[in-house]
């Protein structure tokens, strides 16, 4: 579904990504693991088009999206949930969802606020609440729901568990599994290995902007040496 | 009382029509559209031509208003696509400059198409109608204008809260990148917002016709009013603009009653008070700082070659009177004065990080202070010049006290508004300033050569002094507070006082330049405080390169030469100058700071 080939990304003169390449298959959950500053968020931003790669290719559902504008990439069927959530603070929950709305996609049941409120009951209880007045967990749910309004085939979830209470993290994991069950492909960036293990089929470990390990989640679980080397804090 | 209140409401409605378009455009695109007054002027002129071809009935007028709005919307859309879209990420000063280029071009185009004379509407009976209110007659048309206020406010409110378009525009004001990542094409959104703002300006223009006329100065007076309203209300806030329009409209109407002369001063005092209490305006929120750090000035000692060239140029300038005739000397003096003026602006906006769009205010205050000292007090030059410096410094300190804490856009708009108010005072207070006729017979009482040497000594000395100041610890501290005021305060610098000191110093230097200019020309006129002169100084600094301290010096000489050539070559110098500004900004959208000019060594 998504093929990333040899991606190089720079901030000014500093190179942040060195030849990142991986593939996400339809219906999978792939997790990008790595410590702070490893390049997870940079990869996500480059995929949605907020950063322009200096080299490499991004192919999604057979279309070359390398260097395309963010709104084109989003319309091609990729949803983006940034690490900072970036809820529109002065819009209500319902308005935030309305901003995300895009045309229905062939063969998928279109997402509506009602369906999303069923998935995230907390949001359904506060459609008129302003974005600025929500807790971190509620904002995270809204960010995911908002990106689903665009009926994406693939969503990029950047550290959805960050800074949330354990109970909320558990809810978040359930929601992501529910999305997976609906046929949505997920690219997840995480530091929380425990959270990732519960969700992901495939893992890609990055460090210093390069891929240092990739394989199935089961293989990573079995590889204690790799876990200690790349992920232990 | 009722009539005065109604007049206030009518004034408020006019202000709101102007300010709503400006604030809506700013909210979505973060561009301060200097050309908003030009859109208003185009609305008035176009409206005049359209109405002349329609029946003189209320329905004809309404149809004409709709047609004018449509034409302006189209013009606005083309302007956005052709120019503004390309400079959304440019430093704010460049955006202001580019839209000022549009102001200049529109002025010449309008003058070419409609001629220089004022145009007023024929007044058919329905426009002359009166309504009896509490025993007094009130013009019916003014009631219509008043009615437009709530109707427009309501329509805009509904549009922004109840339509998908409105929700998307509000989302764009909050986080543009996120909006794009959600699949929204902002280009269309911004073009439509700009078209809406232009249509509102056009409506304001055509509604101004029945009670007034279309003339060539209405663009700048309108944009100044709109700036004041938008700053008082809070940039980007629609309800803030409505509230500020009411406040200032009422103040204007009742102010004329109580203090006939001081209506402008009242408006300014209100603005100062609001900003002292609420630095972001009545309902404004702090702007996400884009920082003024884009305009970076590196200050290093001049390299040996440049220093030698400088001393050589100074020596040559000192010998000039022995060779050159009076005309050449007067051109040289003009250049020297421009150099000091540009260097003072450079101090403020480069190392000081305070963009100023009204630097002519200090120049003009200096010029008028010198001229008035000579005229009213019969003071000789050695007393008149210090008076010019002191008065300009005092005015800069007083005004600076209110504004140095503000962010870039507010500062640029407020300095502009202040300069326009100074201009209006010079223009209107005929008893003291001579109004449009100015003050004549301000002669230095020295020979041409003697005065030239004085100008050379003061301008070169002043510029070198400003340069010395920047290399001193004060200059370092000033740049530290520009680059990161939080960190500067954390190491114990009083950033407010530093900025105020720089503001005052720049004002004093500009005042000296103005005082010298008064003596050099032998006269002062309101044009000394005109917006054009502020922009001249900006162009000199930008032309030479903000990053260098020798930049303004070279820029002043280059620009003065260019300007004189342009004036002699074509009647449409405004059009050419405006086009050149736009080309300059489009060619270097990140600011000239990113470019090293071969001539301007560090």
DSSP state of B119: B
Alpha carbon distance B434, B427 (integer Å): 8
Residue B557 clears pLDDT 70, i.e. is over it: yes
In a shared domain, residues B204 and B338: no
The string of pLDDT tens digits covering residues B148-178 is 999 999 999 999 999 999 999 999 888 889 9
Find out whether B16 and B250 touch, Cβ atoms under 8 Å: no
Share of chain B above pLDDT 70, in %: 93
Tokens, residue B158 = 């509904």
Q: Give the end of a domain, one of B173, B202, B217.
A: B217
For residue B309, being part of any structural domain is answered with no
pLDDT, residue B326, reads 80
Q: Which of B181, B237, B594 to mutate to test the interface with A (most CBs of A within 10 A)?
A: B181
Q: Both B380 and B521 in a single domain? A: yes
Decide which of B97 and B397 is more confident. Answer: B397
| Predicted local confidence at residue B292, as pLDDT | 41
Mean pLDDT over A176-205 rounds to 92
CB contact under 8 A, B170 and A69: no
Q: Which of B61-70, B268-277, B412-421 has the lowest mean pLDDT?
A: B268-277
More confident: B121 or B156: B156
Q: Which of B217, B244, B261 is the last residue of a domain?
A: B217
Same-domain pairing of B343 and B211:
no
B349 pLDDT higher than 90: no
| 0.90 surpassed by complex ipTM | yes
pLDDT of residue B482: 82
Question: Do the chains contact at B180 and A146, CB–CB below 8 Å?
Answer: no
The total domain count for chain B is 2
Mean pLDDT throughout B358-365? 93
pLDDT in tens, A198-226: 899 999 999 999 999 999 999 998 888 88
Name the residue with higher pLDDT: B102 or B449: B102
3-state secondary structure chain A: CEEEEEEEEEECCEEEEEEEEEEECCCCEEEEECCCCCCHHHHHHHHHCCCCCCEEEEEECCEECCCCCHHHHHHCCEEEECCCCCCCCCCEHHHHHHHHCCCCCCCCCCCCHHHHHHHCHHHHCCCCCEHHHCCHHHHHHHHHHHHHCCCCCEEEEECCCCCCCHHHHHHHHHHHHHHHHCCCEEEEEECCHHHHHHHCCEEEEEECCEEEEEEEHHHHHHCHHHHHHHCCC
Which of B476 and A29 is assigned the larger pLDDT?
A29
- Domain membership flag for residue B237: no
Q: Check residues A214 and B486 and name the one with the higher pLDDT.
A: A214
Question: Chain B within 8 Å of A150 (Cβ-Cβ)?
Answer: yes
Which band of pLDDT confidence, cut at 50, 70 and 90, is reported for residue B599? very low
| B182 with A89: Cβ contact below 8 A | no
Q: Is residue B57 part of a domain?
A: yes
Is residue B577 one of the residues assigned to a domain? no
B180 touches chain A (CB under 8 A): yes
Residues of A in contact with B184 (CB under 8 A): 71, 99
Residue A28 has pLDDT above 60, yes or no: yes
| Best to test chain B binding among A89, A99, A152 (most B CBs inside 10 Å) | A99
Q: Which of B167, B168, B183 sits opposite A74 (nearest CB)?
A: B183
> Domains in chain A, please, with CATH?
2-230 (3.40.50.300)
What gap in Å lies between CA A65 and CA B524, rounded to an integer? 63
B181 touches A at CB < 8 Å: yes
In a domain, B213, yes or no: yes
- Lowest mean pLDDT, pick from A97-101, A183-187, B220-224, B286-290: B286-290
Q: Which domain holds residue B336?
A: 326-531
Mean pLDDT (whole number) for B212-232: 88
Question: What's the confidence (pLDDT) of residue A112?
Answer: 94
Residue B417 in domain: yes
Q: What pLDDT does residue B450 have?
A: 85
Residue B164 contacts A, CB cutoff 8 Å: yes
> Does B445 have pLDDT greater than 50?
yes
Amino acid B594: pLDDT: 46
Contacts (Cβ under 8 Å, ≥6 apart) of A176: A29, A157, A160, A186, A188, A199
CB contact under 8 A, A71 and B174: no
Please name the residue of chain B whose CA is at the shortest distance from the CA of residue A94: B167
- Over residues A137-161, the mean pLDDT reads 94
| Whether A48 contacts chain B with CB within 8 A | yes
Span of A212-226, B216-230, B480-494 with lowest mean pLDDT:
B480-494
The pLDDT of residue B300 is 60
B182–A75 CB contact, under 8 Å: no
Residue of A49, A71, A90 with shortest CB distance to B185: A71
Q: What is the pLDDT of residue A110?
A: 92
Q: Give mean pLDDT, residues B359-365.
A: 94
Mean pLDDT of chain B: 85
SS3 B454: helix
A184 CB within 8 Å of a chain B CB: no
Residue A53 has pLDDT above 80, yes or no: yes
Instruction: Summarize the confidence of residues A83-92 as an average pLDDT.
Output: 93
- Mean residue pLDDT across chain A: 92
Question: What pLDDT does A50 receive?
Answer: 93
- Residue B341: inside a domain, yes or no? yes
Measured in angstroms, the CA of B239 and the nearest CA of chain A are apart by 15
The confidence score (pLDDT) of residue B202 equals: 96
pLDDT range class, residue B195, cuts 50, 70, 90: very high
Closest to B5 in 3D by CA, of B325, B233, B250:
B250
Provide mean pLDDT across the span B539-548.
72
Q: Indicate the range of A35-44, A181-190, B463-472 predicted with least confidence.
A: B463-472
Contact of A27 with chain B, judged by CB distance below 8 Å, is answered with: no
Question: Which of the pair, B560 or B79, is modelled with greater confidence?
Answer: B79
B217 touches chain A (CB under 8 A): no
* Beta-bridge mates of residue A157: A81, A188
- pLDDT (average), residues B521-530: 88
Residues of B with Cβ-Cβ distance to A99 under 8 angstroms: 167-168, 171, 179, 182, 184
**pLDDT tens digits along B323-346:** 887 888 888 888 889 889 988 998
Give the pLDDT band of residue B295 (cuts 50, 70, 90).
very low
If asked whether residues B479 and B360 sit together in one domain, one would say yes
Going from the C-alpha of B58 to that of each of B9, B10, B129, B215, the distances in angstroms are: 22, 19, 12, 23
A125 touches chain B (CB under 8 A): no
In a domain, B268, yes or no: no
CB-based contact B177 A88, cutoff 8 Å:
no
Last residue of a domain, one of B186, B217, B248: B217
Q: What's the 3-state SS for B516-583?
A: HHHHHHCEECHHHHCHHHHHHHHHHHHHHCCCCCCHHHHHHHHHHHHHHHHHHHCCCHHHHHHHHHHH
Nearest to B175 among A69, A74, A88 (CB): A88
pLDDT at A114: 95
Q: What residues of A are in contact with residue B238 (Cβ under 8 Å)?
A: none
**Which range among B249-253, B377-381, B579-583 shows the weakest confidence by mean pLDDT?**
B377-381
Chain B residue with the nearest C-alpha to that of A71: B183
pLDDT band at A126, cuts 50/70/90? very high
B293 band by pLDDT with thresholds 50, 70 and 90: very low
Q: Does the pLDDT value for residue B585 go beyond 90?
A: no
Best mutation target among A75, A88, A111, A154 (most B Cβ atoms within 10 Å) is: A88
One domain, residues B331 and B192: no
Instruction: State whether A91 and B177 contact (CB < 8 Å).
Output: no
Residues of B in contact with A86 (CB under 8 A): 175, 178
For residue B434, what pLDDT band results from cuts at 50, 70 and 90? confident
The pLDDT score that the predictor gives to residue B569 is 83
Q: How confident is the model at residue B46 (pLDDT cuts 50, 70, 90)?
A: very high
Q: Residue B157, exposed/middle/buried by CB under 10 A (0-12, 13-18, 19+)?
A: middle
Whether residues A86 and B178 touch (CB distance < 8 A) is answered with: yes
Q: Are residues B213 and B330 in the same domain?
A: no
pLDDT of the residue at B600: 36
Separation in Å, CA of B272 to nearest CA in chain A:
28
Q: CB contact, 8 Å: A80 with chain B?
A: yes
Q: Does A105 touch chain B (CB under 8 A)?
A: no
In this predicted structure, which of A84-88, A119-123, B113-117, B527-531 has the lowest mean pLDDT?
B527-531
Q: Is A85 on the interface with B (CB under 8 A)?
A: no
């Amino acid at each position: 579904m998504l093929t990333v080939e040899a991606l190089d990304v720079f901030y000014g003169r500093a190179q942040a990504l060195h030849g990142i390449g991986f593939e996400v298959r339809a219906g999978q959950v792939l997790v990008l693991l790595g410590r702070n500053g490893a390049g997870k968020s940079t990869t996500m931003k480059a995929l949605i088009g907020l950063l322009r790669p200096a080299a490499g290719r991004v192919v999604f559902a057979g279309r070359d999206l390398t260097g395309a504008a963010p709104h084109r990439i989003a319309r091609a069927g990729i949803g983006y949930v940034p690490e900072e959530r970036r809820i529109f603070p002065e819009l209500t929950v319902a308005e935030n969802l309305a901003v995300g709305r895009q045309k229905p996609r062939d063969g998928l049941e279109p997402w509506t606020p009602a369906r999303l409120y069923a998935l995230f009951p907390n949001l359904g209880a506060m459609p008129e609440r302003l974005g600025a007045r929500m807790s971190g967990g509620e904002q995270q749910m809204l960010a995911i729901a908002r990106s689903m309004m665009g009926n994406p085939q693939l969503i990029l979830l950047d550290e959805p568990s960050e800074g949330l209470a354990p109970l909320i993290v558990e809810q978040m994991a359930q929601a992501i599994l529910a999305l997976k069950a609906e046929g949505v492909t997920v690219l997840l960036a995480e530091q929380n290995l425990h959270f990732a293990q519960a969700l992901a089929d495939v893992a890609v470990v990055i460090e210093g902007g390069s891929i240092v390990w990739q394989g199935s989640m089961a293989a990573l679980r079995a590889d204690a040496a790799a876990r200690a080397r790349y992920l232990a804090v | 009382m009722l009539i005065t209140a109604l007049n206030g409401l009518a004034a408020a409605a006019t202000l709101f029509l102007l300010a709503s378009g400006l604030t809506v455009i700013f909210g979505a695109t973060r561009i301060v559209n200097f050309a908003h007054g030009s859109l208003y002027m185009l609305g008035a002129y176009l409206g005049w031509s359209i109405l002349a071809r329609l029946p003189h009935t209320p329905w004809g007028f309404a149809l004409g208003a709709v047609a004018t709005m449509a034409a302006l919307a189209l013009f606005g859309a083309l302007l956005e696509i052709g120019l503004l879209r390309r400079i959304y990420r440019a430093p704010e000063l460049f955006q202001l400059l580019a839209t000022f280029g549009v102001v200049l071009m529109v002025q010449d185009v309008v003058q070419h198409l409609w001629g220089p004379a004022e145009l007023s509407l024929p007044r058919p009976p329905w426009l002359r109608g009166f309504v009896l209110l509490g025993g007094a007659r009130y013009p019916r048309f003014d009631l219509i204008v008043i009615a437009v206020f709530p109707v427009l406010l309501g329509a805009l409110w509904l549009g922004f809260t109840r339509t998908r378009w409105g929700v998307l525009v509000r989302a764009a004001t909050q986080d543009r990148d996120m909006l794009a990542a959600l699949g929204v094409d902002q280009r269309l959104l911004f073009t439509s917002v700009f078209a809406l703002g232009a249509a509102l300006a056009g409506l304001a223009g055509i509604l101004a016709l029945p009670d007034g006329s279309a003339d060539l100065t209405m663009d700048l007076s309108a944009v100044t009013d709109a700036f004041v309203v938008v700053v008082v209300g809070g940039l980007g806030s629609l309800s803030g603009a409505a509230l500020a329009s009411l406040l200032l409209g009422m103040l204007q109407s009742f102010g004329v009653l109580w203090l006939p002369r001081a209506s402008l001063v009242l408006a300014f005092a209100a603005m100062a008070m609001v900003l002292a209490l609420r630095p972001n305006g009545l309902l404004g929120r702090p702007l996400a700082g884009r920082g003024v750090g884009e305009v970076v000035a590196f200050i290093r000692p001049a390299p040996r070659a440049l220093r030698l060239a400088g001393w050589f140029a100074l020596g040559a300038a000192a010998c000039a009177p022995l060779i050159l005739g009076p005309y050449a000397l007067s051109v040289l003096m003009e250049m020297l004065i421009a150099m000091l003026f540009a260097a003072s602006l450079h101090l403020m906006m480069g190392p000081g990080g305070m963009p100023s769009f009204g630097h002519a205010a200090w120049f003009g205050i200096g010029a008028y202070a010198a001229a008035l000292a000579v005229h009213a007090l019969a003071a000789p030059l050695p007393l008149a010049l210090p008076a010019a410096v002191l008065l300009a410094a005092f005015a800069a300190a007083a005004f600076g006290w209110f504004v140095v804490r503000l962010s870039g856009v507010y500062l640029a708009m407020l300095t502009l508004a202040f300069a326009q108010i100074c201009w209006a005072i010079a223009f209107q207070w005929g008893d003291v300033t001579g109004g449009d006729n100015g003050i004549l017979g301000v002669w230095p009482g020295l020979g041409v050569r003697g005065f030239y040497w004085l100008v050379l000594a003061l301008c070169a000395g002043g510029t070198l002094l400003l340069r010395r100041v920047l290399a001193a610890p004060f200059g370092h501290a000033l740049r530290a507070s520009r680059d990161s005021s939080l960190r500067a305060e954390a190491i114990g610098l009083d950033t407010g006082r530093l900025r105020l000191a720089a503001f005052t110093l720049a004002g004093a230097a500009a005042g000296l330049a103005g005082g010298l200019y008064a003596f050099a020309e032998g006269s002062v006129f309101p044009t000394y405080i005109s917006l054009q002169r502020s922009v001249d100084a900006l162009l000199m600094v930008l032309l030479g390169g903000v990053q260098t301290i020798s930049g303004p010096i070279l820029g002043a000489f280059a620009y003065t030469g260019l300007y004189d050539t342009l004036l002699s070559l074509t009647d449409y110098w405004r059009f050419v100058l405006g086009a050149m500004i736009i080309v300059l900004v489009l060619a270097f959208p990140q600011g000239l700071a990113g470019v090293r000019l071969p001539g301007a060594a560090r």
